[in-house]
Amino acid sequence: MHRIKIFDTTLRDGEQSAGVNLNFSEKFEIAKQLERLNVDIIEAGFPAASKGDFYSVQQIANHIRNCSVTGLARSVKGDIDAAWEALKEGAEPRLHVFLATSPIHREFKLKQTKEQVIETAVQAVQYAATKFPIIQWSAEDACRTELPFLAEIVEKVIQAGAQVINIPDTVGYISPKEYGEIFQYLKKHVPSISKVSLSAHCHDDLGMAIANSLAAVENGATQVEGTINGIGERAGNAALEEFAVALYIRKDHYQVETRLNLKEISRTSRLVSKLTGMVVPANKAVVGRNAFAHESGIHQDGVLKEKTTYEIISPDLVGYQSNSMVLGKHSGRHAFRNRLDELGLSISDEDVNHLFSVFKDLADKKKEMTDDDLAAIVLEEKLSK
């Protein structure tokens, strides 16, 4: 099994979520937790963006020892210099430099021809190579770029000194099959491709960030980028906890692994949610409140008999203590009685039918039955005798 590197950009792309602004101590706390989670690379920010971001990136680079710390730079000397000043004391300083390549961005944003875009990219990488030991180059909006042009510019930046080539789906536009084909195309048409690592960076505008990241892995990507809880610009980035758990649960299929300490996932998710103020939806895969909750009678009965009937991820794997049986109108007798036993309110076989029907009547009127509701049902029954 070969290893996929996890590049976490919660503190850069994640912080670009509308309404999110992390101060230094919040960024530092998240970076320390990402180190415990054991991601390979932390993108700590965009040093040229503000004094605050510069300071955060510098402090994180200086104090994190078990991950490589990187910072983002546009293809201009000032950004690259700022990134170097912030990152140079890091354990493994690496630059993440980018330039847009798609026709839309070339025409309307950069106002540069293809030749000018190549020249700008090559000069930036050559300049960065005079400072940084590792350079990642990203083709912004790669997925809407003409493939022959993408292959040409990738070859040129590799020759200029880039060691990691990132293919961002900046606007979350691509489908899994097409994304895989881009990696195949580059492997076939870029002569120096074997000298570099290929990276995937997916946004979730059409809800395909995880499917696309997995397709990239199946087609040769050895690094995947994303954020905790999938936060990020617009609909967000690929959620790293979902990606890592998908690889783990389906390792029979993907035949790759990450070095993540999966047990730290729940703690990391809660911390990022608390500090960014971005609430995790209850039904979110892996870290949502309902991800390990069973409500219907059929499911509860199955899980009480054998967990794997309806649970493909053990809550313990990602740092949760246990699954939960939510008692409501869909619940069955088995879960009802099991919960009463757990609460020390065991009832006799004769009482079960009657109490269960009282429970069902009340459950019909409420979203969720609490432990207090159950205690009240049993107590009332005892008092009426």
- Minimum CB distance to ligand KIV smaller for 209 or for 291: 209
Residue 223 interacts with ligand KIV (CB under 6 A): yes or no: no
- The Cα-based distances of 221 to 19, 186, 333 in angstroms read 32, 11, 49
Ramachandran area for residue 323 (φ above 0: left; ψ -120 to 50: alpha; else beta): beta
Residue 138 interacts with ligand KIV (CB under 6 A): yes or no: yes
Q: Residues 201, 329, 337, 339: which binds ligand KIV (CB under 6 A)?
A: 201
Taking alpha carbons only, the member of 268, 261, 199, 201 closest to residue 229 is: 268
- Minimum CB distance to ligand KIV smaller for 210 or for 363: 210
Q: CA-CA distance, 20 to 216, in Å (whole number)?
A: 29
Contact partner at residue 199 from ligand KIV, Zn ion, none, CB < 5 to 8 Å by partner kind: none
Cβ 187 to ligand KIV, closest distance in Å? 20
Q: CA-CA distance, 96 to 276, in Å (whole number)?
A: 24
Contact partner at residue 320 from ligand KIV, Zn ion, none, CB < 5 to 8 Å by partner kind: none
Q: CA-CA distance, 186 to 115, in Å (whole number)?
A: 19
- The Cα-based distances of 278 to 48, 292, 326 in angstroms read 26, 20, 24
Determine contact, residues 35/68, Cβ cutoff 8 Å: no
Residue 253 among known ligand-binding residues = no
Question: SS3 of 160, please?
Answer: helix
CA angle 272–43–73, rounded 5-degree value: 135
Place of tokens 């649970």: 311
For ligand KIV, how many residues bind (rule: CB under 6 A)? 9
Residue 237 among known ligand-binding residues = yes
Q: Residues 10, 58, 75, 170: which binds ligand KIV (CB under 6 A)?
A: 170
- Minimum CB distance to ligand KIV smaller for 105 or for 339: 105
Contact partner at residue 45 from ligand KIV, Zn ion, none, CB < 5 to 8 Å by partner kind: none
Residue 94 interacts with ligand KIV (CB under 6 A): yes or no: no
- Per CB under 5 A, which region of 8-16, 152-160, 258-266, 340-348 contacts Zn ion? 8-16
- The Cα-based distances of 78 to 72, 74, 128, 151 in angstroms read 12, 9, 11, 27
- Minimum CB distance to ligand KIV smaller for 139 or for 158: 139
Contact partner at residue 138 from Zn ion, ligand KIV, none, CB < 5 to 8 Å by partner kind: ligand KIV
Contact partner at residue 98 from ligand KIV, Zn ion, none, CB < 5 to 8 Å by partner kind: ligand KIV
Q: Residues 8, 13, 40, 43: which binds Zn ion (CB under 5 A)?
A: 13
**Dihedral sign from CA coordinates of 64, 243, 12, 195:** positive
Question: SS3 of 332, please?
Answer: coil
Subset of 322-361 contacting ligand KIV (CB under 6 A): none
The two tokens of residue 174 are: 């691509």
Cβ 233 to ligand KIV, closest distance in Å? 7
Q: Residues 47, 71, 93, 168: which binds ligand KIV (CB under 6 A)?
A: 168
> Which residues of this protein are in contact with Zn ion, per CB under 5 A?
13
> Which residues of this protein are in contact with ligand KIV, per CB under 6 A?
13, 72, 98, 138, 140, 168, 170, 201, 203
Question: Binding site: which residues?
Answer: 13, 201, 203, 237
